[in-house]
A and B are shown apart, each in its own frame.
Chain A
């Protein structure tokens, strides 16, 4: 999937979103996190909304026991064998789409889409926020001073990108 719109102050593009979800069981979370951290070769984000970038991989903690591993375009998926006694994994990359936005007008446009405070530390570059957009559950990713992404379900992607484009 790829489509786009742009103006002087804002641009929107749509891209696929290779993504793996891993989740640990309650009670063995520490072991699970150690195991995942070792497999990925990097530390994991400590709390919900934090992200860690490592070798073309963005690790997002989307829930206390749930991580999303978002792959940059062209990045090979990590070899990740999750011990079933510690947790599980499920690929989600076919069903999610990235709406990439950038430009100086981004904060104004976003204010008509999601309940995210562009200026708050929780939405600073590198942070993620789970929120809703026109009743659809989405993940907001702040990627720069005037850039962000929304990870949205594929079936809603066109409807939501139309909404942004009409803003």
Chain B
């Protein structure tokens, strides 16, 4: 059969001078620029496009927009593969590779269509009732097979080579929808002087006007409106852009598709998510036509009447020549008339007893057969419709056809306006839901407000656009819009009561939900709309039930013998249309996934081959390969060097906070569990902060620089949290305190010189400074300048060795680092990384993040004496709770590995030697290290108090390595120098 054999030779908005080639399931087909994939498939006579979700029933093209439930396809291949895209929204482009979904081995012959035969057993809730036994884990077994049998398209696994972007945009007035109301609103707002963003998901503006003949008055009006808008410098026309969410603060989430006809696909972003902040928003989102419910209403060849008209007038496609138009309202008659004018044989089956006389007269003039008070009850056909069974005043009859156009009325598109929690309100006169209310700065216009006639919608849009502009102070005089009279009659619908023959009658096509499923849900007590939705999965497909919600609601209302408003309406949530995860991520992938923090010495580490480690956002040296062939060799060598000579560590990542003010000491007394008010100037103190609930929050040292000024350090991980906490307390709990807290983490490069030679290194590096024990005792401060920058030297130790923390202005960090290494060469000073740093602190028994894990108290960590009998600090009251005082709480202990050739592992679960290793055990290993001092692995652990006696044995079981088991002895957590003599060595 020739390509495009269903294409008319004239008309439409396609460019016949620009042919386009594409493939569908490997078959080469052709269309034209201006086609959608759906229109091109129809033009080529392709009626079978997909298979349904559960029953694998053949499905065709049902709509002409984003409401499409059936014709979902997979676009592209390899990394560009994107599943579940409605063929109705895909702009046709040369070289497009498209596959159908959810079928095997082929679309025409799908083995799993056997599910249709099993349909009587596959009703709603079937899986949850049937696959729950015989054991508790049985579902886990069945689920794999059920998921393979049902579903949509498959996502690709290759890396996506395309670029995505997230950006921010602003407007005075945002208008969602480029139909007659939206165009009119945009024109009015722009003319009033507002900065306007007009958002349209299609690649053409016009909305339903595009369904009008291309040589009609509507087309002329559209052309003029577009030209007018393009004349406004302040109007941005955002085509190919769908508004997927509406959020607080008048923020709209938009996703824009790249123009697929662009000849350079790699030169432009494929999809852009825009967060548009507007001062006011006009929703002109139109309305979605409702299907009709009858047996086999899902077969290929059944189509919404408005869609059929769009394919005829916009795309010049005549998908059928023998047509049944089934309707409850006037609107579908226009489809009948246009098809008749195009040469098709048309029958209108109107449910209403007496259709309007004017329509009947026009039908007679065009040769359209009219059957009043008539409905379709059944349909015959497999991959394409062949005939329908009609039920009318004269009883049942059959009619042959190759296209069935249905119209059960219209539902205003209220999804976006519902996203912020505003419930839609039912309007009896249109038998549909409109937005319940608009908050300030939001407006509605056109069909989404129930104003269906085009001329009225244009006036309504003008009003909304003017008001929206006025609400943001733009009130210039605006001339009235051009009128457009499409000779439309009222479109009041007669509510359709589903009439079902032998076959299944679908309410939600995408989720395969039938009238029987709704009846079952009702029988089983799932009468609430929200329960109905979850029980049957109605409305939970990628189309969010755009065509099914009202029919389901009406069916449930009938079953409950209740009105529609009393039956309720489901909650619409973002996204209105699916958004690719790649688009949401934008450029935040790969090395841009998160911002990276680099210390002032970063370039030196890189230049000297350091293996780097991500620690939060920071890049830190993990170990230096000069120290050993791998991390295990290197960290032990680096530890030994610190213990025996001197090591240099980049500690710039520590959180640093400047605390100033007359009440600074009082403030610190309140936020630390131990006191700081009496700390002398020039001295530092280790401090621990608690949360309100008495759990340890963070630890660090704070140094008194002056009477009213302190220099606080925090752990690397908690730096931001601590600053935020301090600011919160000053703003809310103690606004009377005159204290300022400022992060100076980036201000200072920080490095630690640790080891018995550390003082000698300092003396060599700073010959003008007195770093003797008298001038700079343990926990002492020395302030000076180096190369014109401020210099602070604090004598503090994390490793248990004599050590100094050196702080210098960040711009001089690398210079001082190099200077120290040069000066320290004679003293065997070598850099060490975070692995050695962690191991050194484990040997010394210092707690860190693995122990301060948000569950431990001061007493758990052996730090209770720090608080002593103090009171009045944050966390003081709740730390005294009985539960936190229980004697059997897990507390900090040390562990020594007592099995040769074995090692302890962080995360291992601790059991008693004679216990069966099952469950959560008696505690857990938090930190481990090989101890060069002890010659075996040592670790810190949190262990239940009743089994934590020193000298006892425990068994550490590591579930991540096949329950690897090792025996350990409980010892003091301080493995090295318990008297602290090395601090002064």
Interface residues, chain A, with chain B CB atoms under 8 Å away? 1, 16, 21, 23, 25-26, 66, 84-85, 87-88, 90-92, 94-96, 111-112, 114-117, 119-120, 134-136, 153-156, 158-160, 162-163, 166-167
Q: Which of A91, A96, A156, A163 contacts B592 (CB 8 A)?
A: A163
- Contact B592 A166, beta carbon cutoff 8 Å: yes
Q: Are A153 and B746 in contact (CB under 8 A)?
A: yes
Task: Supply 7 A–B pairs (Cβ within 8 Å), ascending by A.
Answer: A88-B740, A94-B748, A117-B277, A154-B810, A155-B745, A156-B597, A159-B598
List the A side residues contacting B744 at CB < 8 Å. Answer: 90, 92, 95
B595's partner among A114, A116, A136, A167 (CB-CB below 8 A) is: A136
Is A90 touching B592 in the complex (CB atoms < 8 A)? Answer: no
Question: B residues 587-634 with Cβ under 8 Å of A?
Answer: 587-588, 591-592, 594-600, 618
In the bound complex, CA of A136 to CA of B720 (Å) = 11
> Using Cβ atoms and an 8 Å threshold, which residues of chain B touch A25?
661, 738
Complex: A96 Cα to B600 Cα, angstroms:
12
Inter-chain CA distance A105–B809, complex, in Å, is: 35
> Does A120 contact B746, Cβ atoms closer than 8 Å?
no
B811–A1 touching, CB < 8 Å: yes
B810 in complex: contacting residue of A84, A94, A162, CB < 8 Å: A94
For chain B, residues 540 to 576, give those with C-beta under 8 angstroms from any C-beta of chain A. none
Residues of B at the A interface (CB closer than 8 Å) are 165-170, 195, 275, 277, 586-588, 591-592, 594-600, 618, 652, 658, 660-662, 708-709, 735, 738, 740, 742, 744-748, 789-790, 809-811
Nearest A residue (CB) for B747: A95
Chain A residues in 8 Å Cβ range of B658: 90
Expressed in whole angstroms, the Cα–Cα distance for A161 and B709 within the complex equals: 34
Smallest Cβ distance from A9 to chain B, in angstroms?
15
A79 to B600, CA, bound (A): 28
Chain A residues within an 8 Å CB radius of B600: 154
| A96: contacting residue among B599, B652, B708, B746, CB under 8 A | B746
Please state if A95 and B745 are interface contacts (CB–CB under 8 Å).
Answer: yes
Is B735 in contact with A26, judged by CB distance below 8 angstroms?
yes
In the complex the two chains form, is A94's CB within 8 Å of B587's CB?
A: no
**Do A92 and B811 touch (CB < 8 A)?**
no
Q: With a CB–CB cut-off of 8 A, which chain B residues contact A120?
A: 170
A155 touches B742 (CB 8 A): no
**Would you call B599 and A155 a contact (CB within 8 A)?**
yes
Residue from A23, A94, A166 whose CB has the most chain B CB atoms within 10 Å = A94
List residues of chain A with CB within 8 A of the CB of B170.
117, 119-120
A94 partner residues in chain B, CB cutoff 8 A: 746-748, 789, 809-811
Q: Is the CB of A88 within 8 A of B661?
A: yes
What is the chain A residue whose CB lies nearest that of B810?
A: A94
Contact B195 A119, beta carbon cutoff 8 Å = yes
| Chain A residues with CB under 8 A of B599 | 155
User: Are A135 and B811 in contact, with the CB atoms below 8 A?
Assistant: no
Contacts A16-B811, A92-B747, A115-B277; A21 near B742 (Cβ below 8 A) = yes
Closest to A135 in B: B595
Please measure, in the bound complex, the distance between the C-alpha atom of A16 and the C-alpha atom of B600, giving whole angstroms: 13
A92: contacting residue among B169, B661, B662, B742, CB under 8 A: B742
Could you say which residues of chain A place their CB within 8 Å of the CB of B165?
112
Whole-angstrom distance between the Cβ of A107 and the nearest chain B Cβ? 10
Q: Is B740 within 8 A of A23, CB to CB?
A: yes
Closest 3 CB pairs of A and B: A95-B746, A95-B747, A117-B170
Q: Which of B195, B595, B652, B789 contacts A159 (CB 8 A)?
A: B595
Q: Are B587 and A112 in contact (CB under 8 A)?
A: yes
- In Å, the complex CA distance between A166 and B618 comes to 21
Residues of B within 8 A of A26 (CB): 735, 738
A19 to chain B, nearest CB (A): 10
Could you tell me the distance between the alpha carbons of A53 and B709 in the complex, rounded to whole angstroms? 30
- CB-CB under 8 A from A163, the residues of chain B are 587, 592, 595
CB distance from B230 to the nearest CB of A (A): 19
**Which residues of chain B come closer than 8 Å to A16, judged between CB atoms?**
811
Query: How far, in angstroms, from A136 to B742 measured CA to CA in the complex?
Result: 16
How many Å lie between the Cα of A21 and that of B743 in the bound state? 11
Are B598 and A155 interface neighbours, CB within 8 A? yes
Q: Most chain-A Cβ atoms within 10 A of its Cβ — which of B170, B599, B748?
A: B170
- Determine how close the nearest CB of chain A comes to the CB of B956; give it in whole angstroms: 38
In the bound assembly, the distance between CA atoms of A119 and B168 in angstroms comes to 13
Q: Judging by beta carbons under 8 Å apart, are A90 and B168 in contact?
A: no
Question: Contacts of B618 on A, CB cut-off 8 Å?
Answer: 155
A129 → B minimal CB distance (Å): 12
Partner of A85, one of B596, B662, B740: B662
CB distance from A155 to the nearest CB of B (A): 4
Q: How far is the CA of A156 from the CA of B597 in the complex (A)?
A: 5
Q: Are A115 and B595 in contact (CB under 8 A)?
A: no
Give CA–CA (A89, B80) in the complex, Å.
54
Besides A94-B810, A136-B595, A155-B746, 16 new A-B residue pairs in contact (Cβ under 8 A), listed by A number = A1-B811, A84-B661, A85-B662, A90-B658, A95-B746, A111-B169, A112-B166, A112-B587, A115-B168, A117-B277, A134-B588, A155-B598, A163-B587, A163-B592, A166-B592, A167-B587
A135–B748 touching, CB < 8 Å: no
Nearest chain B residue, comparing its CB with the CB of A157 = B598
Task: For the complex, give the distance between the alpha carbons of A91 and B591 in Å.
Answer: 32
B168 touches A111 (CB 8 A): yes
Q: Which residues of B contact A95 (CB under 8 A)?
A: 744-748, 810
By a CB distance below 8 angstroms, the chain B residues around A166 are 587, 592
Given A92-B742, A94-B789, A117-B170, also A158-B661 (CB < 8 A) = no
**A135 B167 Cβ-Cβ under 8 A:** no
A152, B747: Cα distance in complex, Å? 12
Contact (Cβ within 8 A) A114 B811 = no
Q: Report how far A154 CA is from B275 CA in the complex, Å.
A: 28
Q: Which residues of A contact B735 (CB under 8 A)?
A: 26
Instruction: Write the nearest CB–CB distance from A46 to chain B, whole angstroms.
Output: 21
A115-B275 contact given A25-B661, A84-B708, A155-B745, CB 8 Å threshold: yes
- Known contacts A95-B748, A96-B746, A154-B746; A159 and B168 CB within 8 A of each other: no
Give A85 to B707 CA distance when docked, in angstroms. Answer: 13
Q: Give the docked Cα–Cα distance between A152 and B277 (Å).
A: 24
The interface residues of chain A lying within 8 Å CB-to-CB of B277 are 115, 117
Residue of A nearest to B738 (CB): A25
Question: Which A residues are CB-close (under 8 A) to B790?
Answer: 91
Interface pair A90/B660, CB less than 8 Å apart: yes
In the bound complex, CA of A38 to CA of B746 (Å): 30
User: Which residues of chain A are within 8 angstroms of B709 by Cβ–Cβ distance?
Assistant: 88
Is A91 a contact of B747 with CB atoms below 8 Å? yes
Chain A residue numbers with a CB within 8 Å of B591 are: 162
Q: Which of A23, A25, A114, A154 has the most CB of B within 10 A?
A: A154
Query: Bound complex: CA of A96 vs CA of B662, how far in Å?
Result: 27
- B598 partner residues in chain A, CB cutoff 8 A: 155, 158-159
Contacts of A21 in B (CB 8 A): 742
CA distance A25 to B618 in the complex (A): 34
The distance in angstroms between the C-alpha atoms of A119 and B167, with both chains bound, is: 15
In Å, the complex CA distance between A21 and B195 comes to 37
Query: Could you say which residues of chain A place their CB within 8 Å of the CB of B742?
Result: 21, 23, 90, 92
Cα–Cα distance between A158 and B606 once the two chains are bound (Å): 15
- The answer for the CA separation of A116 and B226 in the assembled complex, in Å, is 29
Residues B660 and A88 in contact, CB atoms below 8 Å apart:
yes
B168 in contact with A114 (CB, 8 Å) = yes
Chain B residues lying within 8 Å of A84, measured Cβ to Cβ, are 661-662, 708
Residue of B nearest to A110 (CB): B168
The residue of chain A having its C-beta at the shortest distance from the C-beta of B603 within the complex is: A158
Q: Write the nearest CB–CB distance from B880 to chain A, whole angstroms.
A: 33
How far is it, in angstroms, between the C-alpha of A45 and the C-alpha of B595 when the chains are bound? 32
Shortest A165–chain B CB gap in Å is: 11
Report the minimum CB–CB distance from B243 to chain A (whole Å): 18
Kindly list chain A residues whose C-beta atoms are within 8 Å of the C-beta of B810. Answer: 94-95, 154
Q: Which residues from B are CB-within-8-Å of A111?
A: 167-169
* A contact residues around B586 at 8 Å (CB): 112
Considering residues A23, A88, A119, which has the most beta carbons from chain B within 10 angstroms of its beta carbon?
A: A88
Chain A residues within 8 Å of B166, by CB: 112
Distance A87 CA – B664 CA, assembled complex (angstroms): 12
Q: CA A90 – CA B740 in complex, angstroms?
A: 10
Q: How far is the CA of A84 from the CA of B594 in the complex (A)?
A: 40
